[in-house]
């Protein structure tokens, strides 16, 4: 009995510590983003609560010695890059997983060469890309060399998500469609795709978020027009001000709203599946 009680205490404390370290940094950052400005620094105590740094992020604060965050263009670049990566990786991931539904010669080799993209350390891959680009004589840009590496990195994730989805996909609906005289292409569009859509959504989310905050590959291959993570790194390499925290809070809120949209879409399709499951249950009883 005592053992059970002490185990409970241990697990309770462990969980509390886990939650603390998971959310602690963000909470501290959130609090400090309301520091007084421009004199207040990135540390406690809070001199006075203010929204100065939020205004600073949007360029609404009166000019001071602290330079505005160079995020405007970087943010657009990052979002564009993440979006393009998401589209390309998801399409490739879906198609590759579709190919893997039937056994084919050399499938093992193909599988591991795709997965390699997410296993190889980013720094190595970035460095390798630099060497390759120099050899071939290509300029390094966020939309060329970095984009390719983003796809190499996120494509395996999209592929694995879709592989799992197809793994429990019932093929007979596709066969039913064919047997009704519907072409394979139309069957994919009208039958397969709507059924795997929740999985596609997950693959998209993975690809987008992984690309959006990708650092090591982009650092080497992104060229002079930097993306968001690189831009932020550039500013706090010199000196940190709470404007960074304010921006952090804003971008986290943005991520949350993306997640919320994803959550709503997923809930809708899961609710549909649950209805299907309860329909089955009625059959049994």
User: What is the contact surface with other proteins in residues (CB under 8 A)?
Assistant: 170, 172-173, 175-184, 186-187, 190-191, 194-195, 272, 275-279, 282-283
Count Cβ atoms below 10 Å from residue 166 Cβ, excluding itself. 17
Which residue's CB is nearer to other proteins, number 172 or number 224? 172
Quote the CA–CA distance of 26 and 76 in Å, as a whole number: 24
Choose between 171 and 239: whose C-beta lies nearer to other proteins: 171
Write the DSSP string, 10-40: HHHHHHHHHHHHHHHHHHHHHHHTT--SSS-
Smallest gap from residue 168 Cβ to other proteins (A): 13
For residue 71, the minimal CB distance to other proteins (Å) is 41
* Choice between 103 and 137, CB closer to other proteins: 103
Taking CA 167 as the corner, what is the angle to CA 96 and CA 270, rounded to the nearest 5 degrees?
Answer: 105
CB of 226 to other proteins, least distance (A): 43
* Minimum CB–partner distance for residue 281 and other proteins (Å): 11
Instruction: Return the number of the residue (162 or 249) whose C-beta is nearest other proteins.
Output: 162
Q: Compute the least distance from the CB of residue 280 to other proteins, in Å.
A: 8
Q: What is the 3-state secondary structure (H, E, C) of 218-274?
A: HHHHCCCCCCHHHHHHHHHCCCCCHHHHHHHHHHHHHHHHHHHHHHHHHHHHHHHHH
Q: Are 210 and 153 in contact (CB under 8 A)?
A: yes
Dist. CA 226–CA 219, nearest whole Å: 8
Nearer to other proteins, 8 or 190 (CB): 190
């Amino acid at each position: 009995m005592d053992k059970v009680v002490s185990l409970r205490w241990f697990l309770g404390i462990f969980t509390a510590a886990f939650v603390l370290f998971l959310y602690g940094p963000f909470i501290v950052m959130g609090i400090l983003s309301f520091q007084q400005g421009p004199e207040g620094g990135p540390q406690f105590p809070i001199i006075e609560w203010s929204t100065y740094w939020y205004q600073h992020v949007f360029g609404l604060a009166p000019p001071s010695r602290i330079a505005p965050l160079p995020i405007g263009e970087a943010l657009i670049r990052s979002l564009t890059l993440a979006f393009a990566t998401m589209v390309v990786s998801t399409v490739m991931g879906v198609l590759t997983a579709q190919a893997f539904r039937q056994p084919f010669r050399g499938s093992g080799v193909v599988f591991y060469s795709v997965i390699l993209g997410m296993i190889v350390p980013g720094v190595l891959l970035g460095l390798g890309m630099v060497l390759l680009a120099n050899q071939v004589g290509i300029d390094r840009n966020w939309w060329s060399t970095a984009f390719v590496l983003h796809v190499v990195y996120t494509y395996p994730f999209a592929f694995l998500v879709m592989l799992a989805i197809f793994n429990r996909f019932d093929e007979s609906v596709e066969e039913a469609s064919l047997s009704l005289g519907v072409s394979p292409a139309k069957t994919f569009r009208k039958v397969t795709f709507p059924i795997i859509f929740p999985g596609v959504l997950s693959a998209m989310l993975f690809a987008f978020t992984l690309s959006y905050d990708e650092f090591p590959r982009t650092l080497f291959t992104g060229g002079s027009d930097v993306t968001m993570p690189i831009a932020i790194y550039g500013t706090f390499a010199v000196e940190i001000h709470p404007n960074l925290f304010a921006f952090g809070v804003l971008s986290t809120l943005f991520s949350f709203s993306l997640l919320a949209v994803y959550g709503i879409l997923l809930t809708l399709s899961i609710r549909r599946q649950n209805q299907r499951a309860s329909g089955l249950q009625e059959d049994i009883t």
